[in-house]
């Protein structure tokens, strides 16, 4: 008896393989289409930009957002603009930074180590906050926190220690730089308050006031402070929160000071922070320890 072969003809094998491949492609396209339907408009825009080879729009952070800088490197949430690795070091719970040379300003050409969050700010009221310990050793030292697009387009809260005839002064400022007309140069507006000339210490040149001010400056490094940029509608203001030590001029305890507000029509750019230094610092050194960054919805 002759048994018939059970082998499948080659032509039929090819047909089966082609049919299976087509079915898999159809399933893949259906899955991709279903995934597209579940994406937000912002996510679809980022995906489309990626397919076209363009830079993907930055995502909006889910609030609250926070980073305590754990580990020995920054997370993928951050880009360091004009990076100089000799001037900063992530160190398990903080980012140590130093400046020298007097050219560290968000509006300056080639300002190093601008820590920019890879997110775009939410279109709602929010607070961007930075916990920092600050050693203003040069006498012309700054901490900056805010929104940055480029050197001609930023809005930031600023704590500075700059020196005049009566020694180092502690200032709280908000600075708003942008181009208001395509044919014009950038316009900078803002408000600044000397906390050693009324709000905290009255008449820093007066008897006992200088010693009290120096204790406050030491506390900025020993116990630190929180700098905040707040958005309320089109208004942006700066705030500093810190604990002052016991002095002859005032009692120990928490203090909070806020600036007047500047205006922007809508959020822009990327949240950022940086250690700054003014030109008069020359070869003096400024250091800071950035301990926590956060963005929260306004309460």
Same domain? 96 vs 31 = no
Same domain? 156 vs 214 = yes
Same domain? 93 vs 220 = yes
Give me the pLDDT at residue 243, please.
95
Give me the pLDDT at residue 279, please.
86
Residue 102: which of 130, 137, 131 has the closest Cα? Answer: 137
Model pTM? 0.81
Task: Note the pLDDT tens digit of each residue in 243-261.
Answer: 999 988 888 999 999 999 9
Higher pLDDT, 141 or 25: 141
Same domain? 111 vs 27 = no
Over residues 155-170, the mean pLDDT reads 94
Same domain? 147 vs 212 = yes
pLDDT at 204 over 90: no
87 within 8 A of 277, measured Cβ to Cβ: no
Give me the pLDDT at residue 122, please.
94
Give me the pLDDT at residue 27, please.
39
Same domain? 235 vs 289 = yes
pLDDT at 17 over 80: no
Domain range holding 118?
A: 65-297
Residue 34 lies inside a defined structural domain of this protein: yes
Angstrom CA distances, 266 to 10, 124, 219, 233, 263, stand at 66, 9, 36, 8, 9
> Which parts of 165-226 fold into alpha helices (H)?
209-222
Residue 239: which of 149, 148, 162, 127 has the closest Cα? Answer: 127
Confidence band of 49 (pLDDT split at 50, 70, 90):
very low
Over residues 121-149, the mean pLDDT reads 96
Angstrom CA distances, 269 to 147, 149, 158, 208, stand at 6, 4, 18, 44
pLDDT at 262 over 80: yes
Same domain? 216 vs 103 = yes
Give me the pLDDT at residue 206, please.
81
Contacts with 278 (C-beta within 8 Å, 6 or more apart), sequence order: 102, 105, 140, 141, 142, 160, 162
pLDDT at 269 over 80: yes
Same domain? 256 vs 203 = yes
Q: What percent of the chain has pLDDT over 70?
A: 81
Over residues 215-232, the mean pLDDT reads 97
Residue 119 lies inside a defined structural domain of this protein: yes
Residue 31 lies inside a defined structural domain of this protein: yes
Confidence band of 28 (pLDDT split at 50, 70, 90):
very low
Residue 91 lies inside a defined structural domain of this protein: yes
Give the span between the Cα atoms of 53 and 44, in whole angstroms.
14
Same domain? 81 vs 15 = no
Confidence band of 56 (pLDDT split at 50, 70, 90):
low
Same domain? 31 vs 72 = no
DSSP string, 242-265: EEEPP-SSS-SEEEEEEPPPEE-S
pLDDT at 8 over 60: no
67 within 8 A of 293, measured Cβ to Cβ: yes
Over residues 81-85, the mean pLDDT reads 96
177 within 8 A of 187, measured Cβ to Cβ: yes
209 within 8 A of 217, measured Cβ to Cβ: no
Over residues 155-184, the mean pLDDT reads 92
The structural domain count of the chain equals 2
Identify the CATH number of the domain in which residue 189 sits: 2.60.120.200
Same domain? 21 vs 103 = no
Same domain? 22 vs 115 = no
Residue 138 lies inside a defined structural domain of this protein: yes
């Amino acid at each position: 008896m002759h048994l018939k072969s059970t082998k499948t003809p080659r032509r039929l094998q090819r047909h089966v393989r082609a049919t299976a491949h087509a079915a898999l492609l159809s399933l893949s396209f259906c899955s991709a289409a279903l995934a597209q339907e579940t994406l937000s408009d912002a996510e679809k825009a980022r995906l489309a930009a990626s397919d076209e080879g363009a830079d993907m729009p930055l995502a909006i952070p889910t609030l609250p957002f926070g980073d305590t800088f754990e580990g020995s490197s920054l997370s993928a949430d951050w880009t360091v603009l004009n990076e100089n690795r000799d001037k900063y070091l992530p160190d398990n719970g903080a980012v140590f930074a130093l400046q020298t040379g007097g050219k560290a300003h968000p509006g300056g050409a080639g300002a190093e180590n601008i820590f920019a969050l890879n997110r775009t700010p939410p279109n709602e009221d929010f607070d961007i906050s930075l916990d920092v310990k600050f050693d203003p050793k040069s006498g012309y030292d700054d901490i900056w926190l805010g929104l940055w697009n480029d050197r001609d387009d930023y809005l930031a809260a600023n704590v500075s220690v700059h020196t005049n005839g009566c020694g180092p002064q502690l200032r709280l400022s908000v600075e708003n730089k942008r181009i208001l007309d395509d044919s014009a140069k950038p316009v900078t507006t803002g408000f600044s308050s000397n906390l050693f000339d009324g709000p905290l210490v009255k008449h820093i040149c007066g008897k006992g006031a200088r010693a009290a001010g120096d204790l406050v400056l030491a506390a900025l490094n020993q116990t630190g402070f929180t700098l905040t940029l707040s958005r309320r509608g089109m208004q942006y203001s700066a705030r500093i929160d810190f604990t002052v030590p016991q002095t002859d001029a005032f009692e120990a305890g928490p203090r909070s000071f806020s600036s007047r507000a500047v205006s922007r029509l809508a959020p822009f750019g990327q949240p950022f922070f940086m250690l700054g230094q003014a030109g008069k610092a020359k070869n003096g050194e400024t250091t800071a320890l950035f301990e926590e960054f956060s963005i929260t919805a306004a309460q």
